Structure 1
Amino acid sequence: MPTKSEAIAAHQRGDLNEAEQLYRDLLHSAPADAELHYYLGLLCRQTGRAAESAQWLQKSIALAPASLPALQMLARVCDEMGDTAGALHALEQYLTLRPDDAGMLNVKGQLLVRLGRLSDAEQAFRLAAERNGAATMFHDLGFCRQLLGNPSGAAAAYQEALRRGHDHPRTKLWLAQCLRAAGRTKEYYDIATDAARSTPDDIELLIESQSACRYVCDWDGFDRNQQRLLTRLQRIMGSNGGEDVPPGILNYLEVDERTISDMAKRYAGQLSVAGKMLRQNLRAPATPRSGKMIRLGYLSTDFFTHAVGSLVRDLFACHDRARFEVHGYSLRHQPDETQIRIQQGFDVYHILAGKAAHDIAQTILDDQIDILIDLAGYTSAAQPSVLAARPAPVQISWLGYLGTSGGNFIDYIIADNIVLSPEIARNYTERVIRLPCYLVTSPLPSSEHRPSREEAGLGSAGFVFCSFNQPYKLDRQTFTAWMDILRHVPGSRLWMYVPDTAVCGGNLRREAARLGVEADRIVFAGREPMANHVARMSLADLSLDPFHISGGATSVAALAAGVPLLTLRGESYLARMGSSINSSLGMDDLDCTEPDQYVAKAVELATTSGRLDAIRKELAKALQNSRFFDTRSFVSSLEEALQSAWNHHEAGLPAVDISVSASSPRP
């Protein structure tokens, strides 16, 4: 009769056929020997029989529940088979016996991430990092927190990982992105530019470094590396494989529309593959939905006090409930007054922050949404793979991301005749829904207290130009034009928002001095609640729109305060938003086509007696009589377009361009 020692010896020397036969013979006489079951399970794994391996290991554990090797091996085998839930179950049994095993806690976190249980994963990663202190565990903790939408917490974990020696380019990239999202501008700039210098061949770090330069208005640094960025992008486009760059941030880096479109198509191709795999793992709804009402869903990362959130705040409540049932899907949950108002406007509201793409797509599919409007695109915390899985038959992009998706999983993009002319639309893969104006607005609050000019740092006299746009929307050409305006209007000031006066403000004042403008004529302002912001905006005389990336919500706030908006019509959706706004108000005289015309118009309004007063009266009349802050009228036009898109789908027809004229609001 063979012995167990002989069987194990055969196994160890690699004679697997002999070892297996010996194990099986021994089990006939000793069926309750847990160790024999374990070794046979191990051998089956080594010979590519994962399912059989799991069966032997489960029998071993049934006989010896405290067998740590068997529990570890079962977790590994289940993981290799794609049975993440089974792997987690085995690992949790192991951790009840060895709760301080940091390595296995970290593995548990990884399994929980795959299951979409991010809050539980964060706890496992945190315990692992605390008990072991390994740099990689802090890295995993940071990644999990980033997925949870906690950029400050993620940044702290990434910084600890770097401090402990995890000097990896991806860690630096993700740290930079978290610092950007957390509004820690100087740290963002320092990390991003240093990482790009130390890893010059990493295209994503180069892109992040260029973005960081824009965030602090370091245009010298931006110009030094821009040609290198453009060359790298062209090289990628000329290759058949390799890097696929997320296109979202390229829209802000002075990259031409054709290149952005080509990069988006490459990236969307990658997403489509992931989306098809995701779709295969989704279960169909148990029962088909009855009724003729269109079920409309909105997917967003910004259902709170945010540029997008302030614009759409009243939109959802205005939908016609006789025709539409409206569902909201929130990918970032930040409870505040705006978030509560938005949630109240939906019939059904799902908080999906921290959920895996599979769970988000399954929720939408279970709700049997007919038309899904994506308000996030390729922006931070978005989930484009959900759209690639096609959880709704008609999918539309709007507002939060204004570039093309590049993919066949988005049918339409909402625009108007100005922001997306036929020439510009050639670079978009989507069909275009053209409304009277692409922009929805919700009425903005205004504080009863208006600060004095002195309180705002504007002095007692002098014309006040303003721009409260994020600094990354600015560029050297725009700022040079603004300084030209100041030189031609004695005593005038430029009132600007900056996230920090030291770095960004310092760069702007140095650039102003280089262009011959005194530093004290540039006045900086910080962030304020919307009601206070609208109240202080009324101190300005004229709002200046950036050239290449127009203001959206920022321009709406200026107009709500009665401040006219001077715009330059550019060559992209992003560069035409201000032009669309002025056109919708009938303020076409303030929409310029050339930079020199823009400068001359600003100087004329500031120096010609009575000219600005006439423009402000014209604006006040337009705001009173137009649809600009009439959310219900906007929704009527939107619903007409959505009905048309749905009719095309129901008839089995492909998506086509849809144009809607101004609609009268429902009573």
Structure 2
Amino acid sequence: MGLPVLLWWSLTKLALLISFAVHTPQPQQQQEEASLLTQARQFLAVNDTDTAFQYLTQAYANDRNQPGLLACFRDVFSQRIESHDNAVDRMGLASILLEYEHYGAAARHLEQAVQLTASKSSANALSMLFAARAAVCDWTHIQQDSPALVASVQASLKQEDQTPAVHPYKALMWPCLSLADSTKIASKFARRAMSAVSVDPVPTSSLLVHKEEPSIFQVSSRRRPTNGRRIKLGYLSPDFTGAHPLAFLMQDVFRLHNTSEFQLYIYSLVESDDSLEVAKIKHAAHQWTVLPSSNAAAAETIRDDELDILIDLCGYTGTSTVAEIMAHKVAPLQIAYMGFPASTGAPFIDYVVCDRIVVPSSSEVRQHYTEQLLLLPHCYFVNSHRYLSSSLRQPQMPRTRYNLPDSAFVYCCHSRPEKIDPHTFKSWLQVLVNVPHSVLWLLRSGDEMEDNLRQIAEQEFALDKNRLIFCDKAPRDQHLARLQLANLFLDTPAYNAHTVGCDCLSAGVPMVSLLRNHVAPPDEVETDKWASRVGASLLAAIGLDDVLVAGSMEAYQAIMVHCATDSEWFSSVKERLQRNYHTAPLFDTPRWVRNLETGLLEIVALRTEGGSSYSDIEIVDNAGR
């Protein structure tokens, strides 16, 4: 008998999130977990996979990173499939193979799963298959997979009580799903969070229709806190760890808040590690709280602090825990920021922090945002890079360390390979044809990815496969240092570089990005989603949007060629980048914090004056005040 679907999905959820989990068990707990794993292996040895699975799930819940745990899960699923082939166990095995980054093997099991099952399970298998293929840039089936995936999503969206198989985060990344699709998917996940905490969900259809055009309230002066008391401001995240980009980006934000106006409460879903980033965040907090594991208890803990504002730094990018806590409506004003670059589609989120580039003013785009907008004057995406500049700008290492030719023009894309789409990749290759002394430097996601991309280069463009150079993921310091070896960073249009975009610009490497000024041609990526507009926002905030933001793919290619063939012009671009690094808004973290605070003060004042009726708020830059 196959593993029950509900139980399997619990496992899959854990397995797919292992890279975000941080857990440090105590010695006694480690002994207990080792015992659970040993017992699981004993039951597996006598073909009792049901009992073995029970011990494994318990061990997984205690410590997801326990050595040998994933391998034992793989053995359980393999044994079950051998005795009785079924879709659910193949999907379970595929989820484990994905954790080992064995994408090709995972895809083969998922192909079988799609054929073996129907309805909801088939949709889940198809979504996982799409993700597995995207991870290694396997686009051989994309013409068939994309329409099937869209049909599956749209069918589930028509059912009020059905949650789509595609996760909201993936919906932002996959070009076949539209801006409207992605917001509707997010709204379904918001409904699920509300149901999980016994809050009566609002019908999805009512969330996605703005009865009237939202008013925009421009703010050019800074309010004082109401009633003469400090505003109690909370931040909530599962990602306050040294390994996560969020802590790296925001480590200096919290200490820059005006403590005469704001009292900071920082809520973490994980125990603090010994990283410098977390130490700086904790030191800036009036109160640092590690929340209890129960969503209800966590919500009650936050509610007891009587916040004025709670900012969700996660959205749907981590576990469902954060959305479920926010669904309790633990603060009178709840704001989404940073983690999830899109509308949350959630009735329990009042505002989303953004800017006018990532969320343009057109009603065609605005209608797909269920929240009111808190529009910052420059780029919404904050970073702490300027405070790290001394460590970032290390002496360059030799190119030979990464097999890069000394004299070549190096086009670089160190974004995750799943962000690359086939049309964009082929556009890059055409530039390699036109610029003979150039190479393309990519982040590796396994041998299969290399083979897939080199095959396209050789067979479709007659390029030497060695002009594609790959490197592995690296620790942050090494990643930041080696970026300086590149000449030009290539942004991925479907889902732009966010953290890595800041990394390359801080390292003095220009970036070219696409922001369409017209509807995309067939088979090309549209850029109306927030996540596909971040690169343009970064470049505008560093003062380079006039030369490095392209309105079409043809213009994008032309910029790539111009950078490599006109050395005098390209040198002037790099000089502008170096000069603007110290003066432009992108890396001016204190300025960003002041602008955010102006918006938060205004939101609190408007609520005090007008109750629960909100407007979009646009902040006029208060630099110098």
> Smaller-chain TM-score range?
0.7 to 0.9
Q: How does 1:431-450 map to 2 (within 5 A)?
A: 431-435=372-376, 436-443=378-385, 444=388, 445-446=391-392, 448-450=394-396
From the superposition, tell whether residues 149 and 324 of structure 1 become closer, same or farther in structure 2 (CA, over 3 Å).
farther
Q: Is the 8 A contact 1:296 1:325 kept in 2?
A: yes
Partner residue, 1:638:
596
Q: CA RMSD in A?
A: 3.0
Please state if 1:555 is matched with 2:501.
yes
Give 1:197-212 correspondences, 5 Å limit: 197-199=115-117, 201=119, 202=121, 203-212=123-132
CA contact 1:352–1:360 (8 Å) conserved in 2:
yes
- Cα separation, 2, equivalents of 1:163 and 1:463: 47
3-state SS, counterpart of residue 233 of structure 2: strand
Give the structure 2 partner of residue 605 of structure 1: 563
Matches within 5 A, 1:77-476: 129=40, 134-144=48-58, 150=64, 155-156=70-71, 158-165=73-80, 173=91, 176-177=94-95, 180=98, 189=107, 192-199=110-117, 201=119, 202=121, 203-245=123-165, 246-254=167-175, 255-277=177-199, 292-304=229-241, 305-333=243-271, 335=273, 336-352=275-291, 355-383=293-321, 384-423=323-362, 424-435=365-376, 436-443=378-385, 444=388, 445-446=391-392, 448-476=394-422
Equivalent position to 1:615, from 544, 566, 573: 573
Residue 38 of structure 1 is matched in structure 2 by none
Q: Which residue of 2 aligns with 1:80?
A: none
Q: 1:386 to 1:188 in 2, by over 3 A?
A: farther
- Residues 222-263 of structure 1: per-residue CA shift (max 9 Å, x gap): 333111111112222333444444433222222111112222
TM-score (norm 1): 0.74
Aligned equivalent of 1:514: 459
Q: CA deviation at 1:145?
A: 5.7
Is 2:470 aligned against 1:524?
Answer: yes
1:657 aligns with 2:602: no
Q: CA deviation at 1:509?
A: 1.2
2:87–2:112 CA contact under 8 A, matched in 1: no
Mapped contact 2:153–2:164 kept (Cα < 8 A): no
Normalised TM-score (structure 2): 0.79
- Note the C-alpha offset of 1:623: 0.9
Distance apart, 1:346 and its partner CA:
2.3
Counterpart Cα distance in 1 of 2:138 and 2:482: 28
Query: Structure 1 residues 633, 484: CA separation in 2 closer, same or farther (over 3 Å shift)?
Result: same
Distance 1:179 1:661, change over 3 A: farther
Q: Contact 1:151–1:181 (CA<8 Å) still a contact in 2?
A: no
Q: Which residue of 2 aligns with 1:65?
A: none
Contact 1:211 1:252 in 2 (8 A): no
The unaligned stretches of length 5 or more in structure 2 are 1-22, 202-226, 516-526
Question: Quick check: 1:376–1:382 contact (8 Å CA) kept in 2?
Answer: no
**Distance change in 2, residues 1:358/1:521 (3 Å):** same
Residues 609/267 of structure 1: CA separation in 2 closer, same or farther (3 Å cut): closer
The amino acid across from 1:572 in the alignment is: K
1:504 is matched with which residue? 449
Q: CA 1:118–1:147 in structure 2 vs 1: closer, same or farther (change >3 Å)?
A: farther
Partner of residue 287, structure 1: none
Distance 2:117 2:490 in 1: 38
SS in 1 for 2:80: coil
Q: 1:627·1:634 contact (CA, 8 Å) conserved in 2?
A: yes
Q: Secondary structure at the match of 1:477?
A: helix
SS at 2:330 equivalent: coil
> What secondary structure is seen at the aligned counterpart in 2 of 1:610?
helix
How far off is 1:455 after superposition?
1.7
Q: Secondary structure at the match of 1:628?
A: helix
Distance in 2 between residues matched to 1:487 and 1:561, nearest whole Å: 27
Counterpart amino acid of residue 370 in structure 1: D
Structure-2 separation of matches of 1:297 and 1:178: 36
1: distance between equivalents of 2:126 and 2:237? 28
User: How far apart, CA to CA, are the structure 2 residues paired with 1:561 and 1:302?
Assistant: 25
Q: Cα deviations across residues 621-667 of structure 1 (Å, max 9, x unaligned)? A: 1112112222111111111111112222333132321111222267x
**Range moving further from structure 2, 269-278 or 184-193:** 184-193
| Residues 650 and 342 (structure 1), Cα distance of their counterparts in 2 relative to 1, 3 Å cut | same
Partner residue of 1:595 out of 528, 553, 556: 553
- More displaced stretch, 263-272 vs 550-559: 263-272
Matches of 1:358 and 1:643, distance apart in 2: 29
* Residues 253 and 384, structure 2, Cα contact 8 Å, conserved in 1: yes
Which digits, 9 at most, give the CA deviation of each residue in 1:575-609, with x for residues without a partner?
Answer: 10000011111112211110001001110111123
Instruction: Give the 3-state SS of the residue equivalent to 1:459 in structure 2.
Output: coil
Greater relative contact order: 1 or 2 (C-alpha under 8 angstroms, separation 6 or more)? 2
In 2, Cα distance between equivalents of 1:513 and 1:406: 44
For 1:525, give the aligned amino acid. Answer: C
- In the TM superposition, structure 1's runs of 4+ consecutive aligned residues that sit over 6 Å from their partners are 117-122
After superposition, the Cα gap between the structure-2 partners of 1:152 and 1:380, relative to the gap in structure 1 and judged at 3 Å, is: farther
- CA offset digits 1:102-127 (Å, max 9, x no partner): xxxxxxxxxxxxxxx99889859668
Distance 1:173 1:293, change over 3 A: farther
User: In the aligned structure 2, how far is the partner of 1:185 from the partner of 1:508?
Assistant: 15
The number of residues matched between the two structures is 538
For structure 1, the residue ranges without an aligned partner over 5 or more in a row are 1-116, 280-289
Checking the alignment, whether the CA contact within 8 Å between 1:494 and 1:521 is kept in structure 2 is yes
Deviates more, 1:655-664 or 1:426-435: 655-664
The SS at the match of 2:380 is coil
Aligned equivalent of 1:94: none
Q: 1:183: how far off?
A: 5.7
1:214/1:222 contact within 8 Å kept: no
| Contact persistence 1:276–1:388 (CA under 8 A) | no
| Deviation, structure 1 residue 439 | 0.6
Q: Compute the displacement of 1:321 (Å).
A: 1.0
